[in-house]
Amino acid sequence: MTRVLVVDDQKTIVETCRLYLQHAGFEVVVAWNGEQALAEARDARPDLIVLDLLLPRVDGRDVCQRLRDEGVRVPIVMLTALATEEDRIAGLELGADDYVVKPFSPRELVARVRAILRRAPPAGDGDALRFEGLTLDRRAHRVLAGGREVELTPREWALLETLAAQPFRAFSRAELIERAFADERDVLERSVDAHVMNLRRRIEPDPTAPKRIVTVFGVGYRFEGVPCD
């Protein structure tokens, strides 16, 4: 059974999320503050985390940052009462996969959780996309960069696979939202920039001078790499 960790210091929100997620067939683990969230994320090994932004003891941003720094790439859906675009971008830049603004519909939260977990490598024939220094194994859902395995969030994987499947083709941000995140609503174009920045940190030899995912000014992004046989 797919396990979801719900983290919030408000009992009503936790219990509502637990009720709806369990009814949808998920196993639910809960935490009430940042310290408990970190412990449960490490011990319970959830498949997805629903994480409140403003938590006692350890802030939700810090929880997200620590997990990403530890190499934990489990999908994270942020809950927040802060609805500005800057707040949403800040969360995505830390490695969150989605943002739900309070007050929210529990049914919408369940739909977003399902959408994120539904993302998987294409069934296809299971072949890999291979470039010099970079391999995307679609069947195993693994990425090797510079000879080491790197962990990506579902959104990062969807974005990288979309770009790498058509190297040297320039994609606009709107196209990337449509192709990589078609089952999500209200994805901001600036959110694409945040995910690209995170991808560059993981797969570029020098993220400050990217050679694989390059910016096409006035358009969007392009993956540069000659496929290897």
Report the percentage of the chain scoring pLDDT > 90. 45
With cut-offs at 50, 70 and 90, classify the pLDDT of residue 70.
confident
Q: What is the pLDDT of residues 71-99, one digit of tens each?
A: 777 889 999 887 677 777 777 777 788 88
- Arithmetic mean of pLDDT, 32-40: 94
With cut-offs at 50, 70 and 90, classify the pLDDT of residue 181.
confident
Of 203 and 70, the structure prediction assigns the larger pLDDT to 203
Q: Is the predicted pLDDT of residue 166 greater than 80, yes or no?
A: yes
Taking a C-beta distance cutoff of 8 angstroms, is the pair 55, 33 a contact? yes
Smallest Cα–Cα separation from 67: which of 33, 46, 38? Answer: 38
Taking a C-beta distance cutoff of 8 angstroms, is the pair 211, 205 a contact? yes
Of 26 and 120, the structure prediction assigns the larger pLDDT to 26
Beta bridge partners of 30: 6
Q: Where are the domains of the chain?
A: 3-118, 128-223
Which CATH fold topology does 128-223 show?
Answer: Arc Repressor Mutant, subunit A (1.10.10)
Q: Tell me how far apart the alpha carbons of residues 227 and 224 are, in angstroms, rounded to a whole number.
A: 10
Q: Tell me how far apart the alpha carbons of residues 79 and 104 are, in angstroms, rounded to a whole number.
A: 9
What is the largest distance, in Å, between two alpha-carbon atoms of the chain?
A: 55
Specify the pLDDT at position 125.
39
Specify the pLDDT at position 179.
80
Q: Tell me how far apart the alpha carbons of residues 68 and 202 are, in angstroms, rounded to a whole number.
A: 11
- Whether 3-118 and 128-223 share one fold: the answer is no
Exposure of 216 in the CB half-sphere (CA atoms within 13 A): 13
* CATH number assigned to the domain covering 3-118: 3.40.50.2300
- Written as six digits, the tokens of 6 are 């719900």
Smallest Cα–Cα separation from 18: which of 109, 87, 146? Answer: 109
- Written as six digits, the tokens of 147 are 């000879």
Burial of 198 (0-12, 13-18, 19+ CB in 10 A): buried
Which residue reads 């992004």 in tokens? 221
Q: Is the predicted pLDDT of residue 206 greater than 90, yes or no?
A: yes
- Arithmetic mean of pLDDT, 105-132: 75
With cut-offs at 50, 70 and 90, classify the pLDDT of residue 183.
low
Specify the pLDDT at position 119.
63
